[in-house]
Structure formats: C-alpha cells, structure tokens
Amino acid sequence: MRERGFCGFCGGPLGPLDGNRQDCTGCGEPFYHDAKPCAAVLVVDASGRVLLGRRAIEPARGLWDIPGGFCGPDETPEECARRELREETGCEIELTGFLGHLVDVYGEGGDHTLNAVFTARIAAGEPAAADDVAELRWFARDELPDPARLAFANTVQALALLDAA
C-alpha cells in the first residue's frame, strides 16, 4: 500500500500510514486506503467462448482483460457492469450469474480493488473495441491466453471461477 501525500479536502500533508488510515495534519480528516469497488463481466457466447479485451491503457497496456471497470459513486456493481460493457464493446448485455468478489491491486503500487465478477450474454449489438480497449476477441476455454498475458490477478482468478462453475 502506497502512502498518499496530501489531503483531498484541504490540500494539507497527510500523516504516516496507520493500518489503512492516514490523518491530515492540517484539518484532521482521515484518508482510508479502502478497496475501490469494480465490476467485471465474463461474457460467454452460445458455444462457451469468452470475450476478452486487450487493454489500450496502463496499467497492463497490451494485456488481455475481462471487460469492466470502476463503479461510479451512485452505481451498483450490476449497473457498472452493464455500463462498462456498453462503453467498451458497444453491446447491451443480460447478466446471467454472479461468480464472486475478488480483491486485487490496480497496477503496481496502485489502489486496492474489490471486483464483483458477473457472467453475461450479449443481448444486443456486435462487439467492437471502444473506450480503453484496443481489441476484442472471443476465446475458446482451451485457447485462453497464458496467465502471463492476462492483465491482473483477478482476471486469472475470474477465469478459474468460470471453469469451476
């Protein structure tokens, strides 16, 4: 966990890390290093293939990932999943299941994330890479990229959960 330098409220310096908390030395407001909520979606087609996207941005640029992203401040994980899929693929989806919550770190030294991982099918549209995705590709389960070519630990874990489901 990387310490933060300055308070988001007053701009004053933050004190030392104590567990997952840093207090502002100026206004006293605490800053908590909590996991940021995210949603990810394993889109599966009728033949069992999984849709993955090649990341166009850091962290993990060029590696394969599950479509998804950070939840907005007033957004449920389910709403986030639908929005992120729409932004990254142009498709509307129907959520078909929930695989679980996975904890990870967003890039080296990045924020901790709490990823709600869903399964889904495409309800409308044809996938086309957009937003922060450079390429989309369907993968048969026995042709998934090697874990070293996957963007995050939670990507590897989610694909394992899918196989176990």
Give residue limits of the domains in the chain: 1-33, 36-164
Instruction: Give pLDDT, residue 84.
Output: 98
Q: Helix H segments across 19-76?
A: none
Q: Is pLDDT of 112 > 80?
A: yes
Mean local confidence (pLDDT), 5-23: 95
Residue 66 has pLDDT above 80, yes or no: yes
Give the pair of three-digit tokens for residue 56.
Answer: 């166009």
Q: What is the pLDDT of residue 17?
A: 94
Mean pLDDT of 95-121: 96
How many helices (DSSP H) and strands (DSSP E) are in the chain? 2, 9
Are 63 and 150 in contact by the 8 Å Cβ rule? The answer is yes
Tell me how far apart the alpha carbons of residues 38 and 86 are, in angstroms, rounded to a whole number.
15
Q: With beta carbons less than 8 A apart as the criterion, state whether 91 and 75 touch.
A: no
CATH for 36-164? 3.90.79.10
Q: pTM for this structure?
A: 0.92
Count of beta carbons in the 10 Å neighbourhood of residue 80: 22
Arithmetic mean of pLDDT over the chain: 96
Per-residue confidence (pLDDT) for residue 163, from 0 to 100: 87
Query: Which residues lie closer than 8 Å to 142 by C-beta, 6 or more apart?
Result: none
**Residue 2: band (very low, low, confident or very high) from pLDDT cuts 50, 70, 90:** confident
pLDDT (0 to 100) of residue 165 = 78
- State mean pLDDT over 111-123: 97
Euclidean distance between CA atoms 20 and 149, whole angstroms: 31
Q: Provide the pLDDT for residue 109.
A: 85
Tell me the CA end-to-end span of the chain in Å, nearest whole number: 32
